Structure 1
Amino acid sequence: MHRGTQDMAAEPYPYTGQEIAAFFRRHASFSVGYLKVERSLEDFGHYLCELLVQAGPERLFLQGIQFFGNRFRWPAHLETIPAQTRLLLERQIIEHLIRNRVTESPLPEPALAYTGERIVPATAPFHAYWAHARRYAFAARRVRDLRVLDAGCGSGYGTRILAQAASYCLGVDASPEAITLASSLFARPNVEFRMSDVCSLEGVENQSFDAVVALEVLEHLPGHRIGSFLEAVRRVLREKGTFVVSVANRNHPPGEVNPYHLSEMTFEEFRSLLEGSFPAAAIQTFGQGVWEGSYRLERECRIVPVRSGTDHAVYLALVELAGPARAETLSRGTDLDSKGTREDGHGR
């Protein structure tokens, strides 16, 4: 069931270039409902810009726009925006910089606010978004053409990233506010959002999904509910299914405390939990670095294989409910594939 990293290039953004181009073809006029500009910690003349554009009831996040040396650099997925439209947006960003230095505009609705509990694109600090989105891109490369359940989907942007590769995605969350927000922002033909407690996954049929993705879920659960969550995951996964899961490293630097985290883990605790819950599975483990403030995005928050405790901010695992022959093959895997590509999709 494992898919290699070479058969797709998952981007850590919720919209594809084709979807963005289609939005601007449909709407000759639009407004900027929200604009945020962040300054690099490493270079005070280097800015990162994010916007929410609106046309009637339809909304779209534009992320990853960089401004430095008096020039704009647009990420590849935004290069499909017509040149005149990009020029118009650049003027708005410049006006915002001149008028406000480095600030953000008022939010169009309270549900978009970043609280630390869930990530909303553009309104969350970009370093928090980028680390989280790279985990979703990591998962997306492993679920191509599969039916995927995104457990604890939050605002739903990650479900949409998964759906760029998967055949179908269901995002579930216990919060009605999260599901309403996700449905309004990130719906697409192969994406559905539904309320459900991840510890029971009520309403999700047995063995109905090829893959379950659970990013930023374990640490938000009280310890006594983690067993129920993993039991629910086993119930909905098909035979030889795939489970992609992450957890915050309990050995984080002093002072970095998230009040929403109830069950952070060491590497040994994380590995032991998965081995106990999936005794016949092949398990590969990874670590993700922290944001260092450079805005050299390909270097930030990288995900690499690990086999013991490290100082990474987050641990991830790829759990494959495979037979013995498959498990033996995976246990002999190396940190780099035959083309020298790391597990996060970037070269050496």
Structure 2
Amino acid sequence: MEQAKVWGRYFPRIEFLSNFIVVIVVTIGGFLVIGDEISLGTLVAFSNYIFMLIWPMRMAGWLTNVIAQCYASVKKVEKIFEEQPEIKNPLNPVKPEEFKGHVVFKNVSFKYNEIPVLKNINIDAKPGSTIAVMGVTGSGKTSLINLIGRFYDVSEGSVLIDGIDVRDMDLKFLRSKISIVMQDVFLFSDSIRENICFGVDEVSDKKLNGMSRNILDEKLITVSKDAKAYDFISKMPQKFDTVVGERGVRLSGGQKQRISIARAFMKDAKILILDDATSALDMETEQEIQKALEKYRDVTKFIIAHRISAVKNADEILIFEDGEIVERGKHQELLDLKGRYYETYLNQLGKMTLYDKEEVI
């Protein structure tokens, strides 16, 4: 908006002045030529001189606009640099020697701008377990997982990992142990290889530290197969060296999600969070990824999803509503309860074929 104001203030004036000068020269010069006071050649030459003067004037006006735009941009960048993070490292940060990934929510409540988002949440996710979270949009599912990586601090209660409050942990250490796959995937304008390896400690600035190229390639292939991305990657002309474009513009939504899942597997984190990470995938591919997750038995997994097929094998399924857990249990237990989970189950099965029902059950 500021840019438009600057452009509207200066550009019309410069254009009017330059064109007005041309009109004056041509008009007066035309009368002088008719009166034989100057020759036509003199008028043409003078007009050319005027055009030579007008061009720098227009460029000066354009440059004024660019400088004003630059100044407005610099102010915005300065504001970002001056912004102080709300979440800060503790004075004496803790770095546990052994990180197992035992996540406990203890009487957790969370408010955002004084608006209650989570209310009295209690969860015990043991190492290697799978916790599934379901609920309507705005029920607090994403806010829940944001507390694990301490992107926000709890308003009441505590989030513990291996018995240590996350507020006492070193932030960089804590987040290095967590992999998050969001529904809105961000890919860099780089190769598939670099996008999958992004965030991996052993690979930095495209140089290997303690990991041979062969071992890296083997791991790339393994995680790509687990994420069901290897098939389409291997069909590309440059395979893992294929550049995906800004935000993965050259890939489909499902392909981007699978690369993002492969990136999470590549990190070898002890806590894996999938926030509606398979929403763009077909049910068959989703089922294959669910089976691949079983290989990561020592990883604590939090799965946020809307499909029954994505959560049915979880050790515990949590149903959220208005920031509260209204139902919890295993798949069959919640079906027997005949509550909200059961209603969701019936709604989804009503749109499925017999084959799909057998897959879900």
TM-score in same-fold range (> 0.5): no
Kindly indicate which of the two structures has a greater share of residues assigned to strand. 1
Which of the pair has the greater relative contact order for Cα pairs under 8 Å at 6+ separation? 2
TM-score grouping bracket, smaller chain normalisation: under 0.3
Kindly indicate which of the two structures has a greater share of residues assigned to helix. 2
Give the structure-1-normalised TM-score: 0.22
Give the structure-2-normalised TM-score: 0.21
